[in-house]
Amino acid sequence: MELKELGKTGVMIPEIGLGTWRYRGGVEPLQKGIELGATLIDTAEGYYTEDVVGEAIKGVREKIFIATKVSGRHLGHDEVLRSCEQSLYELGTDYIDLYQVHWPNPSYPIKGTMDAMGKLADRGFIRFIGVSNFEIEETEEAQACLNNHKIVANQVRYNLNDRTIERDLLPYCEERGITVLAYTPLDDGNLTTMPRVMGKGKMSVLKEIAEETNKTMGQVALNWCNSRSNVVVIPKSNSITRTIENCGASGWRLTDEQVARLDEAF
């Protein structure tokens, strides 16, 4: 498994992690992913999967990088502290590696939210602070409220079919040393199989490159995301077989020419 630096922290994380949004696979797929080097597991209080993540990492906590999130409905100062305490309990751990604000909510003053995040970091309950679904202006506002800590990650949607963040957010994060955690990197499975009617469109290019590399379409799609220097993907899979496939998207690289063909096609 290839590693990338988290922000500018000096901490290395796997370029393919394990997502748990709408996850129903139990502990086995997560444990298989860990075995294959996907030791970054992303969850959230709003996913209701922190407990299964906690079960999956028993006995190997020191090898795992846990990322979880405080709900956008719980962004008051004291609510953030309580949510973190509950997440620690559900995960069965005494610290969280990356604690993220799940989405911005203008109903809560961002200063109170980030003050609480800073306190959690100062007290050792969390190691790093991140955000999710934040635009540039929201990220800058949140960072301005942190005196002693940096926002090291922004978790956003990114895949071949949805490249919206390339306009401004992706280069902004790259310039400032913020890791992009790409959720839904396979576009809910739409990038893993060829449509019944195959023309000369974008999916045929993906299939051609899969054949050239002797990889699956899904592996090519994940590898394309990771061709961006500051992007780490967190696909979700409920099966051991697909988890193995997803992890196989690391350890090799598309050529510049193949990346360019996919960029043009999609």
Number of helices and strands (H, E) in the chain? 10, 10
Active site residue 172: no
Give me the helices (H) in the chain, please: 27-35, 50-56, 77-91, 110-122, 136-144, 169-175, 202-213, 217-226, 240-247, 256-265
Whether residue 7 contacts residue 153, with contact meaning beta carbons closer than 8 Å, is answered with yes
Write down the catalytic residue from 47, 99, 108, 158: 47
Could you say which DSSP state residue 199 is in? Answer: -
Instruction: Report which of 51, 110, 27, 199 is spatially closest to residue 118, judged by C-alpha positions.
Output: 110
CA atoms 236, 238, 241, 244: torsion sign: positive
Sheet containing strand 65-70, strands side by side = 18-19, 40-42, 65-70, 96-101, 126-132, 151-157, 179-183, 231-233
Could you say which DSSP state residue 48 is in? Answer: T
Q: Which residues are catalytic?
A: 47
